[in-house]
Amino acid sequence: MNMVNIKINNKDVKVAKGTSILNAAKEVGITIPNLCYHPDQEVKANCRVCVVEVEGARTLQASCATEVKEGMVIRTNTQKVRQSRKVVIELLLANHDMDCTSCKKNNQCDLQEIAANIGVRESRFENVLVKQEIDTSSSSIERNPNKCIRCGRCIQMCSEVQGLAILDYVGRGGSVDVKPAFGMYLNNAACVACGQCSVVCPVAAITEKEDIEQVWEAINNPNITVVVQTAPAVRVSLGEEFGLEPGKIVTGKLVASLRALGFDKIFDTDFTADLTIIEEGHELLKRLSDGGTLPMLTSCCPGWVNFIEQYYPELLPHLSSCKSPQQMFGALVKGYYAEKIGKKPKDVYSVSIMPCTAKKFEAKREEMSVDGENLDVDIVLTTRELAKMLRQAGVDFTILEEEEYDTPFGLSSGAGVIFGATGGVMEAALRTVYEVVTGKTLENLDFMAVRGLEGIKEAKVDLDGTIVKVAVAHSLSKAKQIMELIKEGKADYSFIEIMCCPGGCIGGGGQPFGGTDELRIKRTNAIYEADKGLPIRKSHENPAVSELYKEFLIEPLGEKSHHLLHTKYVNRKK
Amino acid sequence: MSNIEITKKILTARFDVINHDSIDEYISHNGYTALKKAMATTGEKIISEVKTAGLKGRGGAGFPTGLKMESVLQAEGLPKYIICNADEGEPGNFKDRYLMEKDPHQLIEGIIICAYAANINHGYIFIRGEYINAINIMDKALEQARVNGYLGDNILDSGFNFDMEIYTGAGSYICGEEFALLVTIEGKQGRATYKPPFPTTCGLYNKPTQINNVETFCNIPHIINMGGEEFSKIGTDSSKGTKLVCLSGNIVNPGLYEVELGTSIRDIIDKLGKGVPNNRAIKMVQLGGASGPVIPENMLDIKLDSKEMSKIDLTYGSGAIIVMDDRIDILDILKRIIEFFHHESCGKCTPCREGLTQMLILLDRFIDGVATSDDLAILEILMETMNQASICGLGQAAPTATQKVLEYFREEFTSKIRSTDSNVV
C-alpha cells in the first residue's frame, strides 16, 4: 500500500494514501466531530463541523473531504478550529427546536453529543427557527422539520441506495429544507416507509412513528392477553442499544426482557419464517410445475412490497402470494391461538418487535385481519422502541439471565433465523425445496453464493437434474435493476429474493440509529452463527410447524392456508 | 493626465468601431488572426505564451491562466471540456455583458484558442439568464463562426474539431461559482461543493474542465498576436495587461473603462468618472462588487496591483468600483449587501446558510441602536468562521465588506452600541 507521512497535532504518522484527514486522525486516536459525514456515503462536506487547520491552506479544511498528502501538517484542536466548530454548532442550534429534554432522540442525538463534547453551553445566536408542521401522515415514519440540520444523509440514502429520491433539498439559502417534492406529506409521496432515512439521520428529523404507549396500556390491562413475536434480526442488534458488542446474539436476554416488561406470551417470528418457507416453497414448486408466472418474487419484506405495488404494479403476478412471517404470525394468533386459549380475538393483543418501520404500515393494511374486525398484528414496535420501553421500565438488559420462548410458537429452525440477512430467505427455501424435490438429504446446508453484502447475488441449484437459477437483491436501487431485467424478459431466474434494506432485515429501518456496513457485517455474521448453533436448521424439520399442519392447517397451500397465510396485492402507483 | 493617457484600449478597441453583428468586420479588424497563428503552433507553445504574458484570471480570484491551461492539458480523462463563465452576477459588474455584446467574436476566438491548446472538443458559454441581449448576440456569432469554419469539424483545415453551445442560468448568483455552475450544466441544483479536486482535473461530468471568465478568454487572442513577452510589458510586475473597470455609484460618468493595471483608483474615479456629482466627498469605495472590500477616501491612491493590494489584504476582484459619497449610511449599505447574499446563498453549508441569517439579525441590532458590545464580539467571531469554514467563495467572502468597515470605520458600529452598556469597545 502507498503510504504518506503526515503530522497530526505534532505527532508523526504514516497513513495510506487517499485517506481523509478525518480517518487518519481516527487512526491515531483523535475523533474529529462530524455530522454530515457517513462512512458508507459520498462525502458531502456541508456541515463544516469537522474543519481542521492544514498548514499552508488559506482557510480551515473539512477533514472529511480532504485527503492526506505527503508532508501535510494538520492541527485538529487549535483555538481557530475550536472557535469555528463551536460557532458552527451554535448556528445549527439557533435554527433547531431546542426542546431536547422531551425530544425522541434525547441522549441519542449526534448534535447534542457534539455540542456537549466541544463545550457549547448556550447558543450565542438568536433562535430563528420558524416552526413547521411535523409530518405524521405516514404510519411508519415521522418527519420533524424543526429538528433537521440539512446534512443530506437521508437524501443520499433515499436516492443513492434506495433509488427513490423521495426527500431532497427544496429552496435555497436560509430557507433550504429537506422534504418531499412540493412539500407533499410522506403518505402522498411515493415513499415505501423503509425508514432507512431514519437510520442515518444524526438528529431527530426523521424517526419511527412511536407506538409504545398503546403497548403499555395493553400490558397493564388485566383482561387482555398480550402476545409478542420477535423478528430474526432483532436478536443480533438489540444489544447495541445497551452498549453490548455489535453482532452479539442476545436471543435469551431478549425473551427475558420481554417477560420482564409483562408480555404474557413470548413467541418467535422465526416460527412463521419456517412456515413461510413451507408455503412459499410449495408455491414455487407449483409455479414450476403448472407453468405459473416466473420468476417468483419473495413477499416477506413490506418495504419491497410497497415498492413493487407503487413502482412496478405490472409485475405483481410475480410476487408470491404468501403473507410475510409477521402477518402469518398475526393471522395465527387471531385465527387459531386465541380460540386455542379460549379467548376472543379482540382480547388477545398481538405485538411484534421488528427491525423495520414498513412493518408498521403492513400491519395496518385492511386485508391483514382474519375476522375483518381486529387487526392481526395490533402494534409493531421497532428494535429502537423496544429498547426505549426497556429503559422506561428500568430493565437492565445487560444482566438479564437468558430465558426460553413460550410454546407453541417459540420453536424455530436455523432457516428461520437467517431470514434476517440478505439471502437468508433464499437459502432457507433452497434447503427445503431441495429435500422436498429430490427426497435426498442436503449435505452442505450453507449456500455461500447467496450470502454477503454484494448488491445482487446469483446461484444455480441442481434439483436432481433440473437446474434452478435464483437471484438475491437487497436495497431498492438493486431491486429496480432486477425489475427492469424482468420487464425486458432477461431475468432467467426461477426465484428471486428481494429485501428493501441494505443487508436485509439486519440493516432494517427500525434498527439502532447509526447503521453502517461495518455494523451490518457484524450482525450478518451473528445471524449465521445463530443458525449454526441450532439443532434444527431446515424449516420442514421444525416439529412445531409439522404439528400445526397436522392439527390445524392440514396441508401447504390448502384452504386454511389460503385464508390465513396468503394475501393479495394492489396497484398503488402514485 | 487626460483620459487617453490612462485608458488603454485592447479588449475594448473594437467597441463601437465594428458592428457586433458582422463577423466580416471583426475579421477585417484583425479578427481570427490569433487563431490562425495559434493553430500553426502547438498547445504547449500557446500555454507557454500565456504563462509568459503573466495573465491572471479576471473573474476575481486571479489564478494564473497559463497554469490552469497547463493542468487541463496534462490532466487525464476524456473528453475534456472548456467553459466560459459568463454568469456575471456580482452586483456592480457589467464588463462581461459589454464584452459579449460589443465584440462577441473576440471571446469566441479566445475560447477556441484555449480549446485548441488543451485539445478540447466541446465547450459551453454559461451566460446569466437575464443577459437576453448578450445571449442572442453570442448565439448569432457562434453560428457565424460555424459558417465561416472557425467552429465545427476540421477547423481551418487543421484536423481540429471544436464546437460550443450556450447554456443559460436562471439568474442564481451562486451559479457563477464554478462548481455550482458545473452541476447546473449537468442538470442538478446549483449548489457549491468542496474542492479539491479542482475542475481542471475533475470538472464537468467529472472530466478535466477549463473554466475561465469572459474577460480572461478575451485576453488570449491579444497575447497570441502580440506575443507573451510584449503583453507582459503592459501593467505592473505582479499584474499584467489591462483591466476592465465597471465604475458605478455616486459618480459623474459611470460606465465601463479599460485601464492599464497599476492605475490608481483615484485616477479612475477622478479622471474617467469625473468625480462625485456636486463635488460631494467620498465616504467609501467598494472594490470588486458586493463580495469585495471597502476602503475609505484616504486610501484611494492604491493602485490596481495585486501585490500592492494584498499587502493590506485587498484585491481588485473582478474590477468593479462602486463609489459612495458622504450621504450614505454605511450600516444600511452593509445590510443590503448581506440581504443580497442571504438571498443568493445556496444553503448547503452551515456557516453561510445560518451565518447570513444571524448577520442580518446582528446588523439590525446596530441599526436599531440596541446592540451590545457582546453583539459586536459575536459578529466578528461569526464572520471569521464564515471566512474560514464556508464551503465556497460566497460564504467566505460575504462578510468582507462588513469586516472592512470594522477595520476602517469601526465607529460606525461602536457608536451604535447601547449607551447603557458600560463595556464599550
pLDDT higher for A121 or A318? A318
Given B231, B250, B266, the domain boundary residue is: B231
C-alpha cell at B55: 495573465
Q: Is there a contact between A479 and A307 (Cβ–Cβ < 8 Å)?
A: yes
| Alpha-carbon span B202 to B183, nearest angstrom | 12
Task: Please name the member of B347, B355, B387 whose beta carbon is closest to the beta carbon of A91.
Answer: B355
Residue B3 resides in a domain: no
Q: In the annotation, is A359 catalytic?
A: yes
> How many interface pairs between A and B have CB atoms less than 8 angstroms apart?
109
Q: Is there a contact between B261 and B29 (Cβ–Cβ < 8 Å)?
A: no
C-alpha cell at A219: 400490558
Q: Is there a contact between A500 and A479 (Cβ–Cβ < 8 Å)?
A: yes
Residues B125 and B260 in one domain: no
pLDDT band, very low/low/confident/very high, at B421 (cuts 50, 70, 90): low
| Alpha-carbon span A161 to A502, nearest angstrom | 8
Helices of type H across B43-94: 43-53, 65-74
**Chain A residues touching residue B344 (CB < 8 angstroms):** 172-173
Residues B57 and B196 in one domain: yes
Residue A265 main-chain phi, psi, to 5 deg: -130, 130
The crossing angle, in degrees rounded to 10, of helices B104-117 and B43-53 is: 120
Given A129, A149, A176, the domain boundary residue is: A129
Residue A574 resides in a domain: no
Q: For residue range B183-212, list pLDDT tens digits in order.
A: 999 999 899 988 889 999 999 999 999 999
Find, among A37, A67, A63, A65, the residue nearest to A50 by Cα: A63
Task: Please name the member of A43, A48, A94 whose beta carbon is closest to the beta carbon of B351.
Answer: A48
| Alpha-carbon span A275 to A254, nearest angstrom | 22
- Record: contact A174-B391, CB cut-off 8 A: no
Q: For residue range B234-266, list pLDDT tens digits in order.
A: 999 999 999 999 999 999 999 999 999 999 999
Residues A59 and A34 in one domain: yes
Residue A377 resides in a domain: yes
Q: Which residues contact B356 (CB under 8 A, 6 or more apart)?
A: A173, A174, B338, B341, B342, B345, B386, B395, B398
Residue A572 resides in a domain: no
Reported as type and span, the H/E element at residue B367 is: helix B350-367
Is the pLDDT reported for residue B425 higher than 90? Answer: no
pLDDT at position A32 is: 98
- Record: contact A46-B349, CB cut-off 8 A: yes
Residues A220 and A365 in one domain: yes
Given A164, A182, A209, the domain boundary residue is: A209
- Record: contact B378-A94, CB cut-off 8 A: no
Residues of A in CB contact (< 8 Å) with B are 43, 45-49, 51, 59-60, 62, 65-66, 80, 83-84, 87-88, 91-92, 94-95, 124-126, 128, 149-150, 169, 171-176
Residue B309 resides in a domain: yes
Residue B425 resides in a domain: no
Q: What is the pTM of this model?
A: 0.94
| Alpha-carbon span B229 to A105, nearest angstrom | 66
The CB-based long-range contact list for B1-4 (8 Å cut-off, 24+ gap) reads B1/B267, B1/B271, B2/B271, B3/B271, B3/B272
Residues A118 and A205 in one domain: no
Domain of B309 in residue numbering reads as 242-325
Residues B144 and B227 in one domain: yes
pLDDT at position B423 is: 54
Residues B296 and B346 in one domain: no
The 8-class DSSP code of residue A127 comes to P
**Chain A residues touching residue B356 (CB < 8 angstroms):** 173-174
Find, among B158, B163, B84, the residue nearest to B121 by Cα: B163
| Alpha-carbon span A235 to A256, nearest angstrom | 12
Burial class (CB in 10 A: 0-12, 13-18, 19+), B50: buried
- CATH code, domain with B339: 1.20.1440.230
Residues A238 and A310 in one domain: yes
Reported as type and span, the H/E element at residue A16 is: strand A11-16
What order of strands is seen across the sheet that includes strand A225-230?
Answer: A265-268, A225-230, A348-354, A379-382
Residues A111-129 have a mean pLDDT of: 94
pLDDT band, very low/low/confident/very high, at B169 (cuts 50, 70, 90): confident
- CATH code, domain with B220: 3.40.50.11540
- Record: contact B361-A91, CB cut-off 8 A: no
Task: Please name the member of A84, A125, A169 whose beta carbon is closest to the beta carbon of B388.
Answer: A84
Residues A294 and A311 in one domain: yes
Reported as type and span, the H/E element at residue A270 is: helix A269-290
- CATH code, domain with A526: 3.40.950.10
Q: Residue for cell digits 442571504?
A: B342
CA dihedral B70, B73, B76, B77 (to 10 degrees): 140
pLDDT band, very low/low/confident/very high, at A123 (cuts 50, 70, 90): confident
How many domains are contained in chain A? Answer: 3
Residues A123 and A142 in one domain: no
- Record: contact B381-A87, CB cut-off 8 A: yes
pLDDT at position A438 is: 93
| Alpha-carbon span A227 to A378, nearest angstrom | 10
Residues B287 and B347 in one domain: no
Q: Residue for cell digits 472557425?
A: B150
- Record: contact B361-A126, CB cut-off 8 A: yes
Q: Is there a contact between A208 and A384 (Cβ–Cβ < 8 Å)?
A: yes
| Alpha-carbon span B362 to B125, nearest angstrom | 39
pLDDT at position B1 is: 43
C-alpha cell at B380: 466578528
Residue A132 main-chain phi, psi, to 5 deg: -115, 160
| Alpha-carbon span B364 to B345, nearest angstrom | 19
Residues A427-455 have a mean pLDDT of: 93
What order of strands is seen across the sheet that includes strand A495-499?
Answer: A296-297, A495-499, A466-474, A456-463
- CATH code, domain with A146: 3.30.70.20
pLDDT cut 90: percent of chain B above it: 92
Q: Which residues does residue A566 pair with via DSSP β-bridges, in sequence order?
A: A322
Residues A373-390 have a mean pLDDT of: 97
Q: Which residues does residue B85 pair with via DSSP β-bridges, in sequence order?
A: B126, B213
In this structure, of A255-269, A518-532, B48-62, B170-184, the range with the lowest mean pLDDT score is B170-184
Closest A-chain CA to B350: A47
**Is the ipTM above a cut-off of 0.90?**
yes
By DSSP bridging, strand A348-354 and strand A225-230 are parallel
Residues A237 and A266 in one domain: yes
Residue A504 resides in a domain: yes
pLDDT at position B422 is: 53
- Record: contact B194-A65, CB cut-off 8 A: yes
Q: Which residues contact A10 (CB under 8 A, 6 or more apart)?
A: none
Q: For residue range A220-231, list pLDDT tens digits in order.
A: 999 999 999 999
- Record: contact A125-B384, CB cut-off 8 A: no
Chain center to CA of B338: 19
Residues B319 and B336 in one domain: no
Residue A570 resides in a domain: no
Residues A449-468 have a mean pLDDT of: 92
SS3 labels along A158-176? HHHHCCCCCEEEECCHHHC
Residue A499 resides in a domain: yes
Q: Which residues contact B26 (CB under 8 A, 6 or more apart)?
A: B14, B18, B32, B103, B105, B106
Domain of A164 in residue numbering reads as 130-209
Residue B87 resides in a domain: yes
Residues A381 and A469 in one domain: yes
Distances (CA, A) of B153 to B79, B122, B160, B162, B280: 16, 11, 7, 6, 58
C-alpha cell at A245: 458488542
Instruction: Spot the catalytic one: A53, A280, A385, A427.
Output: A280
Residue B391 resides in a domain: yes
Q: For residue range A501-535, list pLDDT tens digits in order.
A: 999 999 999 999 999 999 999 999 999 999 999 99
Given B168, B199, B231, the domain boundary residue is: B231
Q: In the annotation, is A113 catalytic?
A: no
Residue B14 resides in a domain: yes
Residue A277 main-chain phi, psi, to 5 deg: -60, -40
- As a whole number, the mean pLDDT across chain B is 95
How many domains are contained in chain B? Answer: 3
Given B273, B298, B325, the domain boundary residue is: B325
Residues B252 and B222 in one domain: no
Is the pLDDT reported for residue A320 higher than 50? Answer: yes
| Alpha-carbon span B295 to B412, nearest angstrom | 14
Residues B336 and B292 in one domain: no
Residues B27 and B104 in one domain: yes
Residues A239 and A346 in one domain: yes
Burial class (CB in 10 A: 0-12, 13-18, 19+), B233: exposed
Residue A256 resides in a domain: yes
Task: Please name the member of B342, B346, B350 whose beta carbon is closest to the beta carbon of A48.
Answer: B350
Residues A33 and A155 in one domain: no
- CATH code, domain with A114: 3.10.20.740
Is the pLDDT reported for residue B2 higher than 50? Answer: no
Residue B124 resides in a domain: yes
Mutate which of B189, B194, B206 to test chain A, going by most A C-beta atoms within 10 A?
A: B194
What order of strands is seen across the sheet that includes strand B209-213?
Answer: B163-168, B122-127, B81-86, B209-213
Residues A113 and A194 in one domain: no
The 8-class DSSP code of residue A51 comes to E
Q: For residue range B51-84, list pLDDT tens digits in order.
A: 999 999 999 889 999 999 999 999 999 999 999 9
Find, among B15, B22, B21, B55, the residue nearest to B221 by Cα: B55
pLDDT band, very low/low/confident/very high, at A464 (cuts 50, 70, 90): confident
The crossing angle, in degrees rounded to 10, of helices B95-102 and B214-226 is: 60
Residues B91 and B176 in one domain: yes
- CATH code, domain with B289: 3.10.20.600
Is the pLDDT reported for residue A182 higher than 70? Answer: yes
Task: Please name the member of B347, B387, B390 whose beta carbon is closest to the beta carbon of A173.
Answer: B347
Residues B161 and B37 in one domain: yes
pLDDT cut 90: percent of chain A above it: 97
Is the pLDDT reported for residue B290 higher than 80? Answer: yes
| Alpha-carbon span A434 to B225, nearest angstrom | 81
Is the pLDDT reported for residue B424 higher than 60? Answer: no
Residue B340 resides in a domain: yes
Residues B319 and B338 in one domain: no
| Alpha-carbon span B38 to B23, nearest angstrom | 19
Residues A374 and A468 in one domain: yes
**Chain A residues touching residue B387 (CB < 8 angstroms):** 59
Given A209, A236, A265, the domain boundary residue is: A209
Residue A335 resides in a domain: yes
